[in-house]
Amino acid sequence: MLFFVDGLFLHLRMNGTLYTFPNNREGFKAMFDFALLSKDIHTLINN
C-alpha cells in the first residue's frame, strides 16, 4: 500500500490500483475508512 499527496488530491495505491480522494478532512477520512475496509475484506478473503 502506497499513500501520497499531490496538491489537491490524496492518492492511495493498493494492489496495483490507484484510488484518488479530495485533499481535505472528508477525503482523508474517506480514504482511511476505505483502506481499513479493504484490509478487512482482504483478511476475510484470505482466511
Instruction: Tell me the chain's radius of gyration from C-alpha atoms.
Output: 11
Domain ranges of the chain: 2-46
End-to-end Cα distance, the chain: 20
Has residue 16 got a pLDDT over 60? yes
What percentage of the chain carries pLDDT values higher than 90? Answer: 30
Q: What is the mean pLDDT of the chain?
A: 84
pTM of structure? 0.65
Has residue 47 got a pLDDT over 60? no
| 2 strand-pairing partners | 13
- Output the CA torsion 31→33→38→41 (10° steps): -170
Alpha helix positions (H), the chain: 25-46
At CB < 8 A and 24+ separation, what contacts does 5-10 make?
A: none
